[in-house]
Amino acid sequence: MTENILIERPADYVGLIRLNRPKQLNALNQATFDELHAALIEFAADDTVRVVILTGNEKAFAAGSDITEMQDKSAVDMLDYGEHRMQQWDYLRTYPKPLIAAVSGWCLGGGNELAMACDMIVASETAKFGQPEISLAIMPGAGGTQRLARAVGKMLAMEMVLAGRVLSAYEAESYGLVNKVVPLELYLEKAIELGQKVATQAPVATRLAKEAILKAFELALDDGLVFERRSFYTLFSTEDKQEGFSAYLAKRPPTWKGQ
Ligand code: DAK
């Protein structure tokens, strides 16, 4: 049983985790993060799930980490609290299956960091993205400065982090922070549709391709190209590669084994 999240299976091979603290605009307290972490581990081990969607509700994806929970914490307290939480963030960073954030309403602070840790973002027209931590005299601590700068560039990242600028959904789309913006009533449906598209591909190829794209943010081009090539060759040893090529040549749809 979970108290702060809901777990759903909206379509074949698609798992969905819904943040569910509507009264607090889905502020991410530790209990929510623990439940989210456990649900992700379960989906990772489940062969009937190939893609995971994270969402909130129409009003908020998540308005940040829970301010009440951090209110009295000192730097030393944060070492424990933060270390535990950082391990969970690191797990997200290396998550083996594609993650899609379906965002509507507030997507702030740790909430925006959570969305950016996903692999794709589908936003409703009402989504608002920001890193307002500076107004609490802190700063992003779960990858916000790094991922935002990589997504939208230095100048805008500076404005968002230092001046608290909040982006509308269409601004976020124009700066490359989100994949697409859709009408409010469609944001979840479209995220699931995108999830289904990804879930119809061969699972091992999907996993290695995701890993290779993420390496682009960590490695020099030479090393990234070597990493890509090795992953590419590895896929030629999978049963699914034989199936993919055979199905193409026989003009029939492939059936993946994930092997
Ligand atoms: N935490 C706790 N409660 C929150 C919250 C938050 N982040 N955001 C909203 N709420 C609560 C409000 O307190 C209010 O509760 P009640 O007063 O009804 O009890 C309820 O949700 C509804 O909010 P509002 O009444 O304020 O609603 P409005 O529509 O007027 O305003 C707002 C919406 C999103 C503009 C406003 O609620 C707001 O400014 N919220 C705070 C946004 C914020 O500053 N977020 C950044 C938080 S700091 C870490 C890594 C990262 C982080 C932490 C640790 N480690 C690695 C350990 C991240 C830190 C952050 O995210």
* Residue 79 pLDDT exceeds 90: no
Same domain, yes or no, for 120 and 183? yes
Same domain? For 232 and 154 the reply is no
Residue type at 26 in one-letter notation: N
pLDDT digits (tens, 9 = 90+) for 128-151: 999 999 999 999 999 999 999 999
Sequence-distant (6+) residues with CB within 8 A of 41 are 91
Q: 84 pLDDT exceeds 90?
A: no
Kindly indicate the confidence band of residue 81, based on its pLDDT and cuts at 50, 70 and 90: confident
Residues 116 and 139 in one domain: yes
Same-domain status, 65 and 191:
yes
Is 211 found in the same domain as 195?
Answer: no
The answer to whether 57 and 26 have CB atoms below 8 angstroms apart is: yes
- pLDDT at residue 1, rounded to an integer: 83
Question: How far separated are the first and last CA of the chain, in Å rounded?
Answer: 32
Confidence of residue 231 (pLDDT cuts 50, 70, 90): very high
Least confident stretch, 77-86, 87-96, 200-209, 232-241: 77-86
Pocket test for ligand 1, best of 20, 21, 24, 25 (most atoms within 8 A of CB): 25
Tokens of 136: 């609490």
Among the ranges given (1-5, 46-50, 83-87), the one the predictor scored with the smallest mean pLDDT: 83-87
State the residue range of the domain holding 207. 203-250
How close is the Cα of 40 to the center of ligand 1, in Å?
24
Question: Does the residue 256 lie in any domain?
Answer: no
Residue nearest ligand 1's atom 55 by CA: 82
**219 plus 135 within the same structural domain:** no
User: Of the residues 182, 199, 216, which one is the last residue of a structural domain?
Assistant: 199
Q: Domain check: are 94 and 46 in the same one?
A: yes
CB-CB contact of 52 with 17 (8 Å):
yes
Give me the CATH number covering residue 139.
Answer: 3.90.226.10
pLDDT at 69: 94
- pLDDT number for residue 97: 98
258 is a domain residue = no
- Say if ligand 1 is within 6 A of residue 144 CB: no
Task: For residue 147, report the distance from its CA to the centre of ligand 1, in Å.
Answer: 21
Q: Please state, in angstroms and rounded to a whole number, the distance separating the CA atoms of residues 154 and 99.
A: 25
129 C-alpha to center of ligand 1: Å?
A: 13
Residue 72 lies in a domain: yes
**Cβ neighbours of residue 82 closer than 8 Å, sequence gap 6 or more:** 141
pLDDT bucket at 78, cuts 50 / 70 / 90: confident
- DSSP three-state, residue 100: strand
**Looking up tokens 């809901």, which residue turns up?**
6
Which is more confidently placed, 80 or 73? Answer: 73
Residue whose pair of structure tokens reads 């074949």 in the numeric block? 12
Q: What is the mean pLDDT of residues 4-30?
A: 97
Q: Which atom of ligand 1 is nearest to the CA of 65?
A: 61
Residues 24 and 101 both lie in one domain: yes
CATH number of the CATH domain containing 225: 1.10.12.10
Residues 190, 105 share a domain = yes
Is residue 153 a part of any domain in this protein? yes
So what's the pLDDT on residue 82? 80
For residue 226, what are its two tokens? 């070597």
Average pLDDT, rounded, for the chain: 97
Mean pLDDT of 6-13: 97
Does ligand 1 come within 6 angstroms of the Cβ of 67?
yes
Residue 125: pLDDT above 90?
Answer: yes
Domain contains 30: yes
| 228 and 138 together in one domain | no
Please write the tens of the pLDDT for every residue from 139-196. 999 999 999 999 999 999 999 999 999 999 999 999 999 999 999 999 999 999 999 9
Please choose, from the candidates 156, 117, 118, 160, the residue with its C-alpha nearest in 3D space to the C-alpha of residue 139.
160
Q: Report in angstroms the alpha-carbon separations of 246 from 13, 198, 231, 240.
A: 23, 20, 21, 10
183 token code pair:
């009408």
Tell me whether residue 137 is in a domain. Answer: yes
Examine the domain organization and report whether 222 and 190 are in the same domain.
Answer: no
The amino acid occupying position 116 is M
Residue 255, in any domain of the structure: no
- pLDDT for 20 beyond 90: yes
Number of domains the chain contains = 2
Please report the pLDDT score of residue 170 as a whole number: 98
pLDDT at 12: 96
Query: Do 227 and 209 share a domain, yes or no?
Result: yes
Asked if pLDDT for residue 218 goes beyond 90, the answer is: yes
Is residue 257 a part of any domain in this protein?
Answer: no
